[in-house]
Chain A
Amino acid sequence: MNIELIRKVLATLLFIVSVVFMYFIFKQLDVESIKMSKNFLFAGLFLSLLFLFGLVFTKTTTTKIIYKENKEETEEDIKKESIEQIKKSATILSEKHILSILSNIEKHSYINKFAESLLIKFAQEFRVVQGITYVKNVKTNKFEVVATYALYGKKEKNIFETGIGINGQVALNKKIKIIKDIPEGYINVVSGLGSSSLGNMLIIPFVYNGETVALTEIASFEPFPDYINEIYNKINNKIAEKFNKLNS
């Protein structure tokens, strides 16, 4: 609706009302009494106020309506802008993580050094507290530890087979698994990462030619980003290919 039109109509109506009202007052008074009468002053003042009130009222109403419309538009715009910004930031961050993780992977000739450097990259990018990387032994078909992060002094080998245990399930399903809000002691049961309660765990299968060739489990006190799947989809091929090459 045209707000300006409503304002003009209201102002005109109030003006007409005030003119009509003034006509009736003049009709009842002669010139002398007008000069003398205080009533005339009061009537004039009242009519002026009425006229002004009409203008102010319509102006205020209009401002309010316009402001409300602008406000609604602005909030909606801000929401849209925020979502766009978040998407843009996520993409930038995602690209940053991917670049960092994939940098220098070609320089490694030994599988354990490659796996170690990869864990350090994860630690740098996702504030990882602990991590283990397993590679599938081509002779036994079992996954064996090739690198650890912040597991000083823990010498036990955590070997697993495809389909057995949570790591085995991830290797079988070939999809990353995020476990949030891990209760104390749970990690000790399900993984090789030790006894501390770390909050969040991410298990990443590296899949080459349809087969999981390596698997990394990392734990963090902080939740992993929502766009972790996007990152995984972009790093899996190169990392899995490298693991496969170094393992053969």
Chain B
Amino acid sequence: MNNIKYILIAGSAGSFKIITEIVEALPKNFPYAVILVLHRLRHIKQGFKEALSAKSEMEISEPFDKEKIELNRIYIAPANYHLFLEPDSTFALSIEEAVNHSRPAIDLSFSSAGKSLKDKVLGILLSGANKDGAVGLRHIKENGGKIIIQNPDDAVVRTMPDAGIKEIKPDKILSSKEIINFLLSLN
């Protein structure tokens, strides 16, 4: 885990609670770029960032196209865009068709991060009700990154973690509390 710089945390149904807990737990000086890719309602563009910002000591923003990814910061994939990570450590946005019925699609963010930023990436897949993210986890792992999947027994909706485990063997399977403790141990 020594090379990790970019931590992508993704989820769908049932993941908001643990996302909030993670954001609340991370200290102000957390030296990683944390990128949250969550399935969100398309028509609700505001409020989510503000809700998380109220809980977090770290700065939270929704990135613009071609924005440089900075460490010690939390980014949220904007609603209704696919979010890609580029080799020059920038974000790219797209409004191409939904993938896995989702935009942002977790697979696209995970895959682009894995292919672009290789072993600097840690992907974490949380609770969710579809299979989005599983293929992306494989791309992270195949490119030298690390992957963690929330224990399906601990997840509110286990479909997404189950799909991830079925697709590729994760480095760790952890409960929500263990995920938080693990992230804090990286600091």
Contact = CB atoms under 8 A, between A and B. Distances in A.
A150 interface: yes
Nearest to A198: B95
Nearest to A116: B66
A152 B64 contact: no
Contacts of B66: 116, 120, 149
Nearest to B67: A120
Contacts of B82: 152
Most-contacted residue by chain A among B65, B80, B93 (CB, 10 A): B65
Tell me whether chain B's interface is mostly helix, strand or loop, or mixed: loop
Interface stretch (A95-103, A123-131, A162-170, A205-213): A123-131
Interface in A126-167: 127, 129-130, 148-153
B88 interface: no
Interface residues of A, number: 17
A196 interface: yes
B95 A123 contact: no
A239 to B, nearest CB: 19
A153 B81 CA distance: 13
Most-contacted residue by chain B among A127, A129, A152 (CB, 10 A): A152
A148 B94 CA distance: 11
Nearest to A124: B64
A35 to B, nearest CB: 83
B114 to A, nearest CB: 16
Given A120-B64, A123-B64, A152-B92, 5 more contacts: A124-B64, A149-B64, A150-B65, A150-B95, A196-B95
